Chain A
Amino acid sequence: MARINLDHIRHAYGIRPSAPHDYALREVHHEWADGGAYALLGPSGCGKTTLLNIISGLVRPSEGHILFDGKDVTHLSTEERNIAQVFQFPVVYDTMTVYDNLAFPLRNRKVPEDLVATRVKHILEMLELTDRADKKARGLTADQKQKISLGRGLVRSDVNAILFDEPLTVIDPHLKWVLRSQLKQLHRQSNYTMVYVTHDQTEALTFADKVVVMYDGQIVQIGTPAELFEKPKHTFVGYFIGSPGMNVFPVDVEGRKVRIGDATLDVGFAPKIGAGQKAELGIRPEFMDIGRKGMPLSIRKVEDIGRQKIVRAELAGQAVSIVVKEGADIPADPHVTFRDEGINIYADSWRVGREA
């Protein structure tokens, strides 16, 4: 259990990086709290696996330091860092029993056998695998194997953090949510620092206290699921999180007035847009209301998804999505209004706050 400091870390797989784009991981400088559950979320190639490998010690960063509880571990190997990891595909020792699999990391560290027995029994109960303790691991299903990989980390008391590299990839969809909620529960019981890599926002949002959204080699936002939803710091976060994603319009900003197409909105504050910067307005489909007032809208399609409808429409020459309640009435001559709390203004894709 440890606090993790990522101190000005950068990484490039090539030899001599010169431009920012040569870096697989651009500057990362953050502190992650002890006992926290973090999810690294982003599309393939965004650098999340690189960051995970830097934390685990499989990759040494080109620049910067990594500290566990204030101790520099940049040059230590995975074993020396006391990290546990759950991989994409379950790694179990086929020829051993479930019990021996869980006891393996402890026995390798010369833990006395009676202590091994108590620890393993405890973990078996946590993972609900007690009845399979004496079975060979090879006969198990993928989700049970994945639990064992996790268990081999949980069983150790010296683990600084448990890392998950897209651990639910090979799990049947109907078991995914079961395993996910068990994971959440295990985190509460064990209080280990956990880092979970995924490209699936549902997994990230349900598992983590803090979601780390990565895009193009950098961390664009770290925040609670609510923060990511309400105040996306970067337009990418807006697109990537939420379904459908945030609508983003190019706008002209003049003091408190923001112009979209022919319409002008008063956003209640004066966003700071630098010279030459691209100004955008982002609004989530959930914060838009269809009625007889506001900006004129031309509706293309309405999708019914149970309790809600998604309206696909065109506003100011651009495609938008709007979420409305099931019974909501859509007038023949539809207009749309934005709720103030849902309006975010972006300068060159980065959010400009009210407070700024």
Chain B
Amino acid sequence: MSTPLSPTKKEKRWPSLVVMTLYLLFMVIPIYWLIVLSIKDNTEIMNSFSVLPQEPTLKNYRYILTDYSWYVGYINSSIYVVLNMVISLLLALPAAYAFSRYRFLGDKHVFFWFLTNRMSPGAVYVLPFFQLYSAVGLFDTHWAVAFAHCLFNVPLAIWILEGFMSGVPKEIDETAYIDGYSFPRFFITVFIPLIRSGIGVAAFFCFMFSWVELLIARTLTSTFAKPIAAAMTRTVSATGMDWGALAAAGALTLIPGAVVIWFVRNHIAKGFALGRV
């Protein structure tokens, strides 16, 4: 039934408008500056200060996208992020189902233990991870980073999915069994479509963590699987800074995030409730 918001409500809208405009500006300005610098020539950056680029150039982007040691970073990062998302979801789906539907020996403790991993500082794992993955010969591979990020993403995914799954009435499972569905068939054809948005949100959060993380990714790689983030820190510490290239490299890291946000924009509000409101 259409219940339109009251037309008699004379609440002033402009204070909210001002607040939001200021806040969005606060969000956008740093990104704007990054992009402006990325399309400026280094001499322009250093010698003349201007809010708008005077002679916009794509030189910096061309440099990044043609230099193997730069652009391979994007490829490496994308590979381990996707690997991690897939592994995390595959592991988390059945586990979350178990937590949302059954009680079993030590369930609460295990659930809490999972979550404690999300609380452990990445810095703590730097050295042991390095040694562990070197020992098993996975050092400097995409798998190493993908698995290492599982430590944080699997618990998170279980937690998010459990919230969404608990919102699905148990009767649906029972009806499906009565209708003669086997568990795997029920899970794949009935249950997973029902928690689609939950899976989307979990994937979003896995992506979010794995894409932005630097410390562990950098520690577990040297040359072959080096993430883009690490390529950038190297430039920062170098003397005679190539600001334009740095800005362009930074701007390029925004693209995957922007694409992901675009796809989930209609689910963000609901998604951030993590199925728990």
Contacts and interface: CB of A to CB of B under 8 A. Distances in A.
Q: Do chains A and B touch in the complex (CB under 8 A)?
A: yes
Contact of A44 (B1, B6, B9, B10): B1
Given A75-B8, A77-B10, A78-B8, A58 B3 contact: yes
A78 B3 CA distance: 14
B3 A60 contact: no
Contacts of B2: 13
A60 B1 contact: no
B5 to A, nearest CB: 8
Contacts, number: 25
Looking at A13, A49, A59, A60, the one whose CB has the most chain B CB atoms below 10 A away is A59
Contact of B8 (A13, A44, A49, A57): A57
A58 B8 contact: yes
B4 to A, nearest CB: 7
B3 A53 contact: yes
Interface string A30-70: 00000000000000100001000100011110000000000
Interface in B1-27: 1-4, 6-10
Interface residues of B, number: 9
B12 to A, nearest CB: 14
Contacts of B10: 77
B34 to A, nearest CB: 44
A59 B8 CA distance: 8
Nearest to A48: B1
A78 B7 CA distance: 11
Contacts of A170: none
Given A77-B9, A77-B10, A49 B4 contact: no
A115 interface: no
B6 A49 contact: no
Nearest to A56: B6
Interface in A71-130: 75-78
Contacts of A44: 1
Contacts of A13: 2, 4
B8 A76 contact: yes
Contact of A77 (B1, B3, B4, B6): B6
A13 B3 CA distance: 10
Interface in B66-101: none
Interface in B35-91: none
A58 B6 CA distance: 5
A78 B1 contact: no
Contacts of A60: 7-8
Nearest to A166: B1
B256 to A, nearest CB: 41
Nearest to B10: A77
Contacts of B1: 44, 49
Interface string A166-192: 000000000000000000000000000
Contacts of A53: 3
Q: Considering the complex of A and B, which 4 residue pairs feature the smallest CB-CB distances, nearest first?
A: A77-B8, A58-B6, A60-B7, A57-B8
Interface of A: 13, 44, 49, 53, 57-60, 75-78
17 contacts: A13-B2, A44-B1, A49-B3, A53-B3, A58-B3, A58-B4, A58-B6, A58-B8, A59-B4, A59-B6, A59-B7, A60-B7, A75-B8, A77-B6, A77-B8, A77-B9, A78-B6
Given A53-B3, A58-B8, 4 more contacts: A59-B6, A77-B8, A77-B9, A78-B8
